A and B are shown apart, each in its own frame.
Chain A
């Protein structure tokens, strides 16, 4: 029998039992629509998630690691860190072991400190100096307005955040008579005057407060008169664009971590040389030995690894966070919920498959005599098998087709009307995340559903078809 003849025969048989065929197709249709809709919810979430990830692609590969305790919890009165036994510390070895986690590109410690700057006739108390390994700065994804970011080999070089310059004040001026350009609320950025051309003005830096106290270069002697003021030339190699993070990155000054640690060490030497009462005069680079970093920055090679690397680091006993972490956790929760729904959809599809098998077995019983006649007048076994398999596959396929159409309608309704139980999680709105359509039916999903429904039909029809081919022509022809 040619394929066309088999098809015609199948359609004829299906039309002969219109209601039964319709009901069976309806079952497959509902099953397919259920599973397609459930998957479409998942796809929509994934797509939205991916879009948000892409928006923050650079950041997404950065993981911030810090100690698992509140800052200062184990600080004693002398501000020395005292660690209980067994608490993991962020030292060089630990940074190295982070770098060896699969998927990690590099790991760099981060320290923070403060220094005094002078670009005559201005001075600055910079409280927000970030010490990092200069060669990793390029991976932080910070946009440069002028110059460059730090690079390997930089020592007394700094990069200014977009509004870090606003901390400069006129030498000799004191609060409340200072410029306070840093604290002007509601004034647009471009209306705040720039005092220091940081890229060009010669600049010096010191850990000694006396450096900025007078209007002259003359070192002011301490009461003890013991030590001179030490200061260092510093190059501003770059100025960052504003990231919108006015109180964060924009105010920071980036510096080589080794240089910052060196200044810290020099400060300690100076500090130890004088009496405790004079400690006030020195800048507050936090007294933290370098084997206990405040932060470690970990960069992964691809955002796919971000979540798993963060998890690994948390297992080591640290806190790890990355942009979009909360979103990730939210998505994971949603995904779980949707898997449950998809399972329900799958159950309805299994029931539909049983429906097909039942229909086909009924058809074999009903057509036993016809099968016998066809065998006697020359139908090959393969003809009979094809006839039944095609019929069940077509029931599956048409069920799938109508199911996909139904799910498209359903998806449209979900996306365009307010469906009570589909309202977005208020958490998302609180986190400032824009919520898109809840359902996304892709062409790929439609195609897969069609093929899958057809296969379900074929599989369900296999045993009935085998039964039909195994029928004895003689017995079949005698049955009534």
Chain B
């Protein structure tokens, strides 16, 4: 049995607002495999972002355990978590979150800077990465000089430059128009597939969900359903997903929550 990348066991998250307790997540049991593309689908307030934050080590579960490659994340201290994010995690945000004072190239090199990679090497790698996202000629521009789509490309390049095990994308296309959305999804999924990296997308958009190998529907802090996409060749699915297939996925969602289906 191959080891899971993430193994969530009975994860609960409860926020305390004074006297009141708000249950954000309740008894989540999930596994994530290496190289697969996951989508956490749900409306706002469903708890999908909380789940993502816990996977990224930004929040700790109130109960339960998140095991990453055999190690429980919730037991790591701040320094170890920083190291975890530095080594294994890439992030793509809805609002890009580029540092405004740095150029595109410098933004992309930043994770390598934190890893103490030599300057020459990190610039070389960043240039390659920028070229891969189609921004080879924009390396010296500041984020304010780039369009939304271009900024998101920089952000994608930054997420992948570390060669991470997993990339978390939190509403990556929320600020983009439809055309750019598809471009961006093709780009991000193309790179993840090419490098055999795990991608976890959080979205409320069912159109985005159709890019995923597995769609995990979350509602009111619980897993509502898990849908495995069947028999689609990776290459086809990534680039030429049609609306009809997406609808099919949505329709095929079953009532089986909680358990992991594996091929």
Contact = CB atoms under 8 A, between A and B. Distances in A.
Contacts of A1: 113-114, 116
A378 B86 contact: yes
User: Max chain B CB contacts within 10 Å: which of A16, A369, A379?
Assistant: A379
A5 B59 CA distance: 28
A18 to B, nearest CB: 13
A377 B53 contact: no
B138 interface: no
Contacts of A413: none
Nearest to A12: B101
A376 B56 contact: yes
Nearest to B85: A378
Contacts of B100: 370
Interface in B47-98: 53, 56, 58-59, 78-79, 82-83, 85-87, 89-91, 93, 97-98
Contacts of A2: 113, 116
Given A381-B79, A381-B82, A376 B114 contact: no
A177 to B, nearest CB: 104
A13 B102 CA distance: 10
B56 A381 contact: no
Contacts of B98: 373
| Chain B interface category by residue count | 20 to 34
B74 to A, nearest CB: 15
B195 interface: no
Given A373-B99, A473-B58, A477-B97, A379 B116 contact: no
A379 B158 CA distance: 14
B111 interface: yes
Contact of A373 (B87, B97, B162): B97
Contacts of B99: 370, 373-374
A383 interface: yes
Nearest to B118: A2
| Chain A interface category by residue count | 20 to 34
Contacts of B226: none
Contacts of A477: 93, 97
Given A378-B86, A474-B58, A383 B78 contact: no
A185 B155 CA distance: 100
Contacts of A370: 99-100
A452 to B, nearest CB: 31
A375 interface: yes
Contact of B114 (A369, A380, A473): A380
B158 A13 contact: no
Given A2-B116, A373-B97, A477-B97, A380 B58 contact: no
Nearest to B53: A474
B202 interface: no
B59 A375 contact: no
B175 to A, nearest CB: 14
A375 B102 CA distance: 16
Nearest to A6: B113
B115 interface: yes
A380 B116 contact: no
A474 B114 contact: no
Interface in A2-45: 2, 5, 12-13, 16
Given A373-B97, A378-B86, A477-B97, 13 more contacts: A1-B114, A5-B113, A13-B101, A374-B110, A377-B158, A378-B87, A378-B162, A379-B86, A379-B114, A380-B114, A381-B82, A473-B58, A474-B53
16 contacts: A5-B113, A370-B100, A375-B82, A375-B85, A376-B97, A377-B86, A377-B90, A377-B91, A378-B111, A378-B162, A379-B82, A380-B114, A382-B79, A473-B58, A474-B58, A477-B93
